[in-house]
Amino acid sequence: MSLHRVRLPAVSRVSRRAGVALLVLALLATLVPAVAEQNVRPGINDNYRDPDVAEWRGVFERDGREIWDRRDDIVRALALKPGMRVADVGAGTGFFSLMFAREVGPQGRVYAVDIARNFVDAIVERARAEGLDNVTGTVNDQQGAHLPDAAVDLVFVSDTYHHFEYPRAMLDSIHAALAPGGELVVIDFEREPG
């Protein structure tokens, strides 16, 4: 995996201005019934509804998992600054949430967002144990991130986009959460045959 910033208005990085245009297009698309949103394979997120956090830490936080091995490079590439407000959507076990909390410092805020309350509670507990009081846990659903409007400077989605059952609704929710000039960063993978 090579790590570089790619500016793709509709996918990787969305400014508020570009987002407004996307929102208008999305609203127009809802007027045509044939363009109704298709969801991913039903049940794709069932394993994450009531997860065993320790078990999933062993899956997500292990050497040999590319995203884990490159976590420091990824955080460095985000160029987070003290005082920033960051949402980690699909936070899982929270290793990125905790790294972000250290980067943005006590004046910043990190929203650890996940569909599994077990994950969210474990992230907040882990943050407190590490003296990080700038992490807020948010349990979301498939339709939205449940973040306050214009509350974040950066939304980070890692290895999660392919789990969005309703991507348009989720992206609309994310767009609403971005402050003016805010950015959306998506890291996801393409399955290769074999």
Residue 7 lies in a domain: no
**pLDDT score at 194:** 60
Residues of the domain holding 124:
56-187
- Average pLDDT value for residue range 22-44: 53
- Count of domains in the chain? 1
pLDDT digits (tens, 9 = 90+) for 65-124: 787 888 899 999 999 999 999 999 999 999 999 999 999 999 999 999 999 999 999 999
pLDDT of 23 > 70? The answer is no
Computed over its alpha carbons, how large is the radius of gyration of the chain? 16
Residue 81 lies in a domain: yes
- Average pLDDT value for residue range 129-137: 98
Confidence label for 3 from pLDDT (cuts 50, 70 and 90): very low
- CATH code: domain of residue 123: 3.40.50.150
Question: Percent helix, strand, coil in the chain (nearest 5)?
Answer: 40, 20, 40
Quick count: other Cβ atoms within 10 Å of Cβ 90?
A: 26
Residue 9 lies in a domain: no
The percentage of residues in the chain with a pLDDT greater than 70, rounded to a whole number, is 72
Q: What is the 3-state secondary structure (H, E, C) of 58-99?
A: HHHCCCCCHHHHCHHHHHHHHCCCCCCEEEEECCCCCHHHHH
Residue 41 lies in a domain: no
**pLDDT score at 8:** 36
DSSP code at position 44 = T
Closest to 77 (Cα-Cα) out of 190, 188, 189, 187: 187
